[in-house]
Structures are given as structure tokens and as C-alpha cells.
Structure 1
């Protein structure tokens, strides 16, 4: 049969250039594409033979072979799978070459947005063209199982391609790449190097079901060696738990994560039904040093039918589980033509929801069955998991259920919010918490004095994220989360004491001092009032219930967001000798300048007590030194 020549249409030439120069960011993936197509062909033949036992096809040794000819600079990928007829070659490869539609090209260009390339992955005419990234010319020879004649397709990736019927083609398909000239400066991409080919196969196609074989280089004068299988074919996630040892799981984890330690936990998941996938996830035993940096690469490895697609698939787990490593192998996914950018379709979202719930339920099992393992997990990853309380409203209750916090409870054991609620005192309506830089700092805060005296438990929150999630959550089990450093507290009512008349009397007694101090300090504070939270300290500063805390203001400014400076409230302890003396001096109209300096010092001391800095540190030091000098 004579050779027929076909001319690529304008859109097809544009498509080919897009495939060669734009779609693939890593040229090595051409070999992955050809192996993937070969694997699909073997899968199809096995299925076809099961359906039609009369099919004249040899299925005794289904495999993929890679042949390297250094002298001719060719690389051939062969399979003995289903093969293609003359018409199928024209249709499957020619679908792109002959489509002639601007619509198809436009959809491909828009594939990164999620709509254009659905279903393109696995179609033989798509990834096949990636071979032109490494080759000046591509020759395909194929014969469909059960037929007598084969077909040869040839093109240089320019204006034309040829089709020819041939008689000597074996069952299956072979794709021969006539490689571009060698680049002396880039030996890592020398595809005539057996080492390079082995590395690419090991990286991208190690878990392909079928053996991938090549014949090693023979020593000079020696007989040709036997074929060598390059891939392990060990898809651990596809084997039953009984078939895989912990050591095998741990070796896979170390290979994926580059972590020399064994994982804290191995999580298996298999989803069946209309959309099937398998997952093998690992929880590390220790947080990586760069977990909170922008450069941290998160995500799990993604396979489709055991073909490696990408290393860091961020779409499969939320950012607050970014420390989880592992493999997800799906039977069918909507990917773009490069296999590198996932579409945001319902399958992706469905897998993320399921994987997220599985990880959180595993942590919940830690809490119930292995306190030591849970303690390790929360110490290493608690701060990042709490990010989910802000970003993942669907799983907020599940995250809060596995979150634990330090508190002022007598036994000093971490507690969940639910456990805190169970221990609340009669008449207590709020879940109290305090945020700060360290446990020592918050435990010694003057804001804690009244709670300590009354035996009211307070959660001690010392991670930066705690400043944000408490507002996002707001309440639990009908109990409001309330900061001990914000708003006005009426603890006398909560513990049953009736001190209304005494407080009214004190308010009247101190009204003049409070008003005068409020005017003097109005640039820095919005109000001066008597405190119900202080029992030892003379003063403290608090935020209004709806105001940002100083820590949050600092956090937003560090992120480059401008926020207005918030004036806070100065609270005084009417029973403290210093405050009593200040009030007496005010009532007796003593030197207002000296009195003003005392008021400034009292405010600065309150700011220092919560870890802040006086507005004018030099003046503060000078005033303290002068006061100390007078006492000597």
C-alpha cells in the first residue's frame, strides 16, 4: 500500500508547537507519557481477551520494552498490547492533527482554568506528541491484536505526517524517537544514556503494573545480556495490609519525604464505587524546620492508574494538613494535557474531603487510644492544625475535638474545649482564655489574678494562630469563648458574691481620679476604670471587647496590612496601696505635676506587665531612677 502524506492544518501546527514548547515544563515527562500509553494498551488487551477468548492475540508475556541505540541516537518504547488499526491511527492520532477546529485549540489553552482538557489525558494523540520535545522525528509502528497488517506513522513535527500500511509489524505498538543532537552541557537529559532512562522510569513509572524492560549495555566482546526490569511494580497502596510489612511502608515514606525517621502513623484508605481511588498517607514524627515558611512544598504524590503525575499535589489536602505525606492513586481524573495541573472538578473536592476526614479521625483515635502518640503529634503539628479552625468551617468541630490546650487546671494536663465545658463552675457562662508569647508570661499576667483567686479555669493559648482562631470559632456548646484581657468582667456575679453596693461606693470615691487620669492619658487610652480582675497588681491594660489585641495589630502590620492604632483601657485595683495613695493625693490636691508622673508610671507598669513597651522608654527609666533615688 503506498505511503499517504497528510498536511497539518494551521490550528494543528499551532497545537503541536504549544505541546512542544509550552505545555510541558519538564522534558523528561515524554517518556512517562509513552510508557503510560503503552500501559493503557496492555490493559486494553487484557480486558479485550477476557471479553473475547477467541481473539487471536498473545497475552502470555505482556510487557513494555525500551530500546536504546546510541549510534543511531534512537529511543524506542514498545508494547505488545492492543495495538491500532490503520483507521484508528488516523483517528486517534489524527484527531488532533486533523481536527482543524479553533475550538479544540482554545479549550487546550484554557485547560489550566479547569474546563478545556477534561478527558484528554490518556488519549493517544495527546501525550504522544510530547515525544517531539526530545526528537526531530517520530516513527510509530503498530498492529492491532487479531489483524494481519500493521500501520506506520511518521512525522518531523512540522507541516506534514505520513501513513503507510506495513506487513511486518508485530502485535502492539512501538514508538521510535530519532533524538535531537546531544547537548554536551546537559548530560542529565541524554536519552541515549541507560542511566538516565532508568532514573526517569524509576521516578515516574516505578509502580506501573506491567514490567518495563531494557537490555543493559554489554561489555566489549561479551554476549548480549538478558533484559533487565526497571520498575518494581510494587504498588504498596494497592496491596492488602497483610501483604505489606511496616518496614516496606516506612521505606516508601522515607523515599517520598526524604525523612530518615520512621513515620508516626501510616494511614490507608480505599474508596470504591463510581469513583475509585486508593491512598497511603503518612504522619511524620517530627515537624520539618520549614513548615511555616512560604517555600515549604506541601501536598502528596498523585498517581493515575499507577502512573506518577506530580510530587506535590496541593489540591488533595488542605493547607493545615500540609505536613502529611503520601500517595494517592486514582482510577480516573480530569487532568490537563501535561498531567501537571489538576482541574478543580468534583472528584478532586470529593477526595480532599474524604482524605481530610480520614486524617482527623486518625488523630482522634490517637487521643482515645495512645496518649503518648497524640502528645507527640500535637506538640509537633498542633499549631498548624489550628489554622483549620480559621479556614475550614466544614471541619471546624472535628478539628476542635482533636485540639488540646494548656490550662490552669490543678493536674496541669492539656484539655480539650469540650472537657473544659464539662468542668465549668455552676453559673459560669463563658469559656475563658488568655493569649500570649509563653506559658510563663500568661500565667503571671495580672489579668489572671481574680480567676486564680476564684478557682476559675482559664485556657492558656501561646501560639500566634490562637489570636485568630478564637474569634473565628466564637463559641462551643453554647458557651462563648472569652478573653480575660478584653472587655469588662463581672466575676463577683459568676461566683455568687454580691458586691454591687461596695463597687458603687468605690466608683463614687474614685470618680475624680479616674476622670483626671483619663484626660491626662487620653492620647494612649480611651478610658480609666476600676477593675474586677485585679487582686494583687495595681493596674492592667485591657482591650475593648470588639477591639484588636496588640498581638493581632502587630501580626497584621508584619504582614504589610495597615490597621489603625487602638487605644486601650486602663484598669486600676482600688484595693492596692499604690492606687489608694494616688487617689488620696488627688483628693488632697497635691502637686499635679508629681501626681501626673505617678499616673504615667502606673500606666507604663501596666503595659510592661503584659509584655508591652512603654511609649517613651527613656523617660520611663528616668522617672523610675528618680523615684528610687528618693527612697535611699
Structure 2
């Protein structure tokens, strides 16, 4: 291999901003840097174990994988070394010099001046290595890839001020050594007891032994002492693990600094043997809506790490779940093809999915506030499950939360079970309305009849809701009914006419025919309705036709949707309808018919094809 000269390179601009932020801000929890570096070392060991399945020679020269921490008080340095997979020159540049592996761009976009001192944000964006600069004014990295020779090592160094140098180096052993040149204010991390306490706090759960160098005061000999349990947490009995250990392990595998909302540790024996440890995060990851968002579980086979983000074990609508699965039934040299085709994989996926849904159901039952916190972060994603997972649709529906006319709030806090408990005697349908916003749904004229009758209606305003309801046809034996569609049950609610009303309707039959003549094929049908109290007219669609919101979804996706043909329903008791009916001038009557239709369309769709014509027509009638 040809030698390359020492190179000075600039960080990507976002990394430069991040480093500036870390160096010049005060953090309340500086010790996080050590957790991140130990976590990275653990990942490097996991990757080596996996690569060594095919190439056992990669283990050459080392009896055991581990992390070694040493301090040099005279030099003011703290060194964290591992004998894991190591890095090549290109990998060093990719991992330590660019945004590609760090997500710092989104991090910087999300962080405001008030949040600049919040170190908890670091973990959410996978920028753990850069936390070194919280305590160090210079960081030196010496690394040698497992496949490289001793003279093919790489030396990386930076003061975090915008540039770094990279050069060839000699290193006798594979792996990575990170030397932190501590700032004067952070020399406390040279204290043996301080380092031990941090390691005990953050690294007990990882399977890699973490050793600290001690110097015998008499003989001056250096000895290494293991300070963590070094037993993979998921292999231990649940009764031996406390909540703090579960939380720290979550932070280790997710690089999230926030405690999880809930978790489930499960060992299954019998036909299939596996262990799963699944977590529900408290916060959504910054890239959850990115198309290339990585999700899935860490996969271990017989305690050997196989891969990160094994998405085959978790459906897309549960992509927020973190955790791992350790199977005894998959081959050690497992490939993605085997994962995709394996019946074992499908069974594990089904089991993990049910486990997560049970966790969420328990959370909803035991802690209402915590569940609403979960819903505010991940509710939109969970809604995708109604169309993706037919087998668990009822379980998913139990977990859904809605705004409704029962509360005067846009908070989505009402469950379908709660709705059914409040249903009126004889009511056999769950009524809902979809709209562009909560206010549009809450103030829809379609609600007038239901408010009058005291019947609760679910108010749906998320973009995904119309698609969700097209997949969710019933719950607990009750069918769903959109109140913007024509339906017999709604007609029955409204159809309580007196003889006087029936006589008035008969007298208005010529008026209805005149409206039909004016509007022609702009509407499917024109009729009178008693659904309304304060609104002159509405439009509805037939039960088997596309709704307005679904047509909008098609348009937003750039697809041509079938034209929606509406039924135009007029309120015979409204003053404007009576005024229009009494108009003898045919030109003026046409303006009234068009105006009332445009009003109804505007309330239904939120926009008009020709708003200027609507305004001109309204102004003309107002002047008269």
C-alpha cells in the first residue's frame, strides 16, 4: 500500500457549527462523552465478531475483545482504546469528518438558542463522537482496521476549530484508540474514582469488559482491572435487572439521552427459542419521516451481533420501536435473503409485533398521561397500521386516539372504547368527520344535527385520516359512518317531520325543480334536508363514492382523482332558502342557486374553483 502524506482537511460546515456549539457552550452533564465513546467501542467489537464468522483470522493476536481506559495526569490525557474492527482512511474521513454518518444538519436545525445548553439533544442525532469536545480541547484518534497491517494505521487529530489532520501511522494492534487532551476545567476526568463511577453507571449492561489501568504505588507496575459486569443485559434474568439498568441499556443501543416510556424483556423457549428486549421511546427521532430512515431491531444470533436495523422483525408502522432480538433458530452466517424468506423470521416478526401492541395497550391502561405523550409523538405512524396489518387491525384500533365533539379541545385523547361507552341507546354506528383542520371539522355544518341530538362525533383532521378510515370499517361490531356521506341512519335521525313540515316541503317541490334546472350536471341530486339548523345548505356524497378528503389526497400525490359528484341538500327552514324560493326573476334566482351551492362547496372543500365569480355573485345579491 502506497503511503499518503499528512493531510489537513476542513470539516463539513454543519460539523463545524456543531463543534463550535459544543466547545463554547456549557453542558449540565459532561460525563456523557465517556458513555458515547464506550458505546462506540462496543459497536466496533460487535462488528468484528460478525466479520470474524467468515474470517477467523481477524481475531489474530487477541484473546478477548474489550475496552481499556487509562489516564496520564502529567500529560492531562484520558485514553479510551478498543480492539474492535478499526477504521480505514476512508472510513475515518466518512465517520469523523463529514455529516454523512452523524445527522448533525438536522440536529442544528432543531436546536435553538434556548436549547443550546441541552446535551440531551446530542444523542438523538447520533453525534456521540463529537461529544468528546465537551471536555477536550484536542482529540487524537489512532486506528487500524482489522484487515490492515501495522504500518497501515491512521492518525486523526483535531482541536475542533474547523479543521482536522489525517496521516499514516504505525499501530501494533487493530482497533481504535481515542486520546482526549482535557481542558483545564475538566481535569476531574483524570481522577480514577470519577472514571470508575461513570463506567459503573453507564457500561454495566454491555457484554464487553471495560478495564481501567491502575498503577501499583509500590512496584509502579500497571495493572488492568475490570469495572463492569460485562454480561449482555438481555441474557440476564429480569429479576436481576433494575429499571436504571434497562434505561441505560436503551440509551446505549438507541443513542438517545431520554429515558424510554416503556419496555418489555421477554424470553421464549419451546418450538422457537429467542429473547427480545423492546423499547418505546419518549421522543420521535428527527428522521422518522425520511424515506431512507433506518429502523428495525439489533439482531443477535446466539449472542453474536449480526446487524443493526434488521427491519424484517418490525413492521413499518412500528418503526419507532428500538431494541434487539437474539435468536437461537437462525444460522450464524445469516444473510438478508434468509431473513426475508425464512418462516422463522416471519414468526419472530409476528411475535414482536404483538408484544409491542400489548406494551402500548398496557401503557394506555396504566398511565393515561404517558400514553398521550406517546400518541403525540407517534400517533400518526401508528395510524398507518390500520392499512398495513390486517391481522392486528382491531388491536391497533383500540390504541387510536381522536378529538371529538365530547370535548372542546383539539387534543386527540378519546379512544374508540370510550366513544362506544357514550353511544346513545339504539345508536349502532360510530360517526366521524374528516377535514383539513380541527377547526374546519369542529365547525362543519354537517355537525348541526348531531349537536342537536347530543350524539358524539369524532373529529379527524390529520392528513392520513381519510386513508385510515378507508381501511377501518368497523370496531367492536360497530361500523364507522362519515357524516359527510348520505346514509340511512343519518336520514332517520333527521326524519322527524310534522304534518306542517311535510306540507311545506310539498309546496317547495317546484323550487327544487328550478334549482335542478339551474345547476344541471354540476350536482348529482338536489333535495331538502332537516339535518341543518343554522346553515342554508350542504353537499354530501353517496356511500359508495369518493369523499372530498380522499380526492384531496389523490391531488396532493399528483394523481388524477375521479370527479366528486355531490348531492345538494337545502334547509327549507332557513331564511336564505325561503328568500331564494320566493324570487321570481330567473336571473336573480340562478344567482341564488349558484351562491348557495358555492357556500356549501366552500364549507366542504375549503376552496372554490372560481372564488372571484362567487364574490361577484354575492356582492350583486347583497346590493339588491
Question: TM-score by structure 2 length?
Answer: 0.65
Cα offset, 1:184, TM superposition: 9.4
Q: Which residue of 2 aligns with 1:139?
A: none
Aligned residue number for residue 290 of structure 2: 293
Q: CA deviation at 1:444?
A: 0.8
TM-score, normalised to structure 1's length?
0.65
Provide Cα deviations, 1:120-155, integer angstroms capped at 9, x if missing partner.
xxxxxxxxxxxxx975xxxxxxxxxxxxxxxxxxxx
Instruction: Quote the Cα distance in structure 1 between the aligned partners of 2:293 and 2:364.
Output: 28
Provide the C-alpha distance between the structure 2 equivalents of 1:283 and 1:211, rounded to a whole number of angstroms.
Answer: 28
Change (3 A) 1:239 1:459: same
Aligned-partner Cα distance in 2 for 1:591–1:248: 82
1:65–1:182 Cα change, 3 Å: closer
SS in 2 for 1:343: helix
- Cα distance in 2 for residues equivalent to 1:275 and 1:518: 68
| Conserved? CA contact 1:334–1:345, under 8 Å | no
**Partner deviation per Cα, 1:1-54 (whole Å, 9 max, x = no partner):** xxxxxxxxxxxxxxxxxxxxxxxxx999983335557999x9xxxxxxxxxxxx
Q: For the structure 1 residues 273 and 453, does the alpha-carbon distance in structure 2 shift closer, same or farther, using more than 3 Å as the test?
A: same
Asked if the contact 2:45/2:83 (under 8 Å) is kept, the reply is: no
Residue 64 of structure 1 aligns with which residue?
64
* Whole-angstrom distance in 2 between the partners of 1:591 and 1:525: 22
Give the counterpart of 1:241 among 233, 238, 243.
Answer: 238
- 2:306–2:334: 8 Å Cα contact kept in structure 1? no
Return 5+ residue gaps in structure 2 as ranges: 1-42, 67-81, 85-144, 157-164, 179-203, 214-218
1:365-380 matches, cutoff 5 A: 365-380=362-377
| 530, 540, 565: which one aligns with 1:567 | 565
Q: Distance in 2 between matches of 1:189 and 1:344?
A: 44
After superposition, the C-alpha distances for 1:289-339 in whole angstroms (9 at most, x for unaligned) are 432332322212112222222221111111111111112222231476657
Is contact 2:315–2:353 with CA below 8 Å preserved after alignment? yes
- 2:360 aligned partner: 363
Q: Which residue of 1 aligns with 2:457?
A: 458
Q: Whole-Å Cα distance in 2 between the matches of residues 209 and 529 of structure 1? A: 73
Q: Could you say if the C-alpha distance between residues 410 and 322 of structure 1 is closer, same or farther in structure 2, counting changes exceeding 3 Å?
A: closer
Residue of structure 2 in register with 1:416 after alignment:
415
- Aligned-pair CA distance for 1:575: 0.7
Displacement of 1:503: 6.0
| CA displacement at 1:554 relative to structure 2 | 1.7
Q: Tell me how far apart the structure 2 counterparts of residues 532 and 341 of structure 1 sit (CA, whole Å).
A: 62
Asked whether the equivalents of residues 538 and 570 of structure 2 are also in contact (C-alpha less than 8 Å), the reply is: yes
**Which residue of structure 1 lines up, in the alignment, with residue 519 of structure 2?**
521
| Partner of residue 619, structure 2 | 625
- Describe the SS at the equivalent of 2:293: coil
User: Can you list the C-alpha shifts for 1:441-487, whole angstroms capped at 9, x where unaligned?
Assistant: 21210000011001111112222222122232212333221010011
1:110-509 equivalent positions in 2, closer than 5 A: 192=171, 196-197=175-176, 233-334=230-331, 342-409=339-406, 414-489=413-488, 491=490, 493-494=492-493, 498-499=496-497, 504-509=502-507
- 2 CA distance for matches of 1:561 and 1:389? 23
Q: Which residue of 2 aligns with 1:82?
A: none
- 1:434 Cα deviation (Å)? 0.9
CA RMSD of aligned residues (A): 4.3
Show the counterpart of 1:602.
596
Larger radius of gyration: 1
**Does the CA contact (< 8 Å) of 1:207 and 1:307 recur in 2?**
no
CA distance 1:182–1:291, change in 2 (3 Å):
closer
Q: Structure 1 residues 230, 283: closer, same or farther in 2, change over 3 A?
A: same
Asked whether the equivalents of residues 207 and 306 of structure 1 are also in contact (C-alpha less than 8 Å), the reply is: no
Q: Describe the superposition over 1:502-554 as per-residue Cα deviations: whole angstroms up to 9, x where unpaired.
A: 66545433333333333433453222221232111011121211111122112
